[in-house]
Amino acid sequence: MASIVKRRFYPRDLYNLDQFMDRFFDINADLWGSQPLGFPLDVIEKDTEFIVRADAAGFDPELLEITYDNNTLSIKGEIKEENKEEKEGKYHLQERRSGTFFRSVSLPGQIDQSAISAETENGILTIHLPKKPEAQPKRIEIKPKSVQVVDQGK
């Protein structure tokens, strides 16, 4: 019977040393190419807000802790390990992870902390971080200059 074995002997992104070093010093990272445990993030900036989206499938929203302090958004959580007594059979491949994780992202600009909100839908965590009104771009209207007609007829 053939066995399924996941093997990677080198970093997937050899050409990107910075990315490899970041993963090397991240205690939650797998050095050989997969994502840090838990939360790969997307950060989107709009005129009125920042939106942070993360894959949260399998996470209990009650076990997630989201904080914002000093322009830094932090997300902490835990993926519980399955009960060992319920496992049946012998694993040939086990890639689903368990344990705690922590992610933080520094955001530029001024955020209205009282209006931050978060929700989950279809396994996606979405965090809305509205900008303060003074940090939002302001459209400046251009007014046409009135032309004065000078009568030069004598």
For residue 118, the model assigns a pLDDT of 95
Inside any domain, residue 58: yes
Q: How many domains does the chain have?
A: 1
Inside any domain, residue 6: no
Range of 44's domain?
34-80+98-135
Per-position pLDDT tens, the chain of length 154: 455 655 554 555 455 666 666 666 654 444 444 444 546 889 999 989 999 999 887 778 888 899 999 889 999 888 777 665 556 677 777 777 677 788 899 988 789 999 999 999 988 999 999 998 887 778 888 888 877 777 776 5
Inside any domain, residue 127: yes
Inside any domain, residue 48: yes
Inside any domain, residue 153: no
For residue 86, the model assigns a pLDDT of 55
For residue 32, the model assigns a pLDDT of 44
- CA dist 101 and 78 (Å) reads 6
For residue 116, the model assigns a pLDDT of 94
Inside any domain, residue 12: no
- CA dist 48 and 54 (Å) reads 20
The residue type found at 20 is F
For residue 146, the model assigns a pLDDT of 76
Domain of residue 65, CATH code: 2.60.40.790
Note the pTM of the prediction, 2 decimals.
0.61
Inside any domain, residue 129: yes
Cite the DSSP H helix spans in 11-58. 17-25
Inside any domain, residue 102: yes
- CA dist 92 and 61 (Å) reads 30
For residue 21, the model assigns a pLDDT of 64
For residue 102, the model assigns a pLDDT of 85
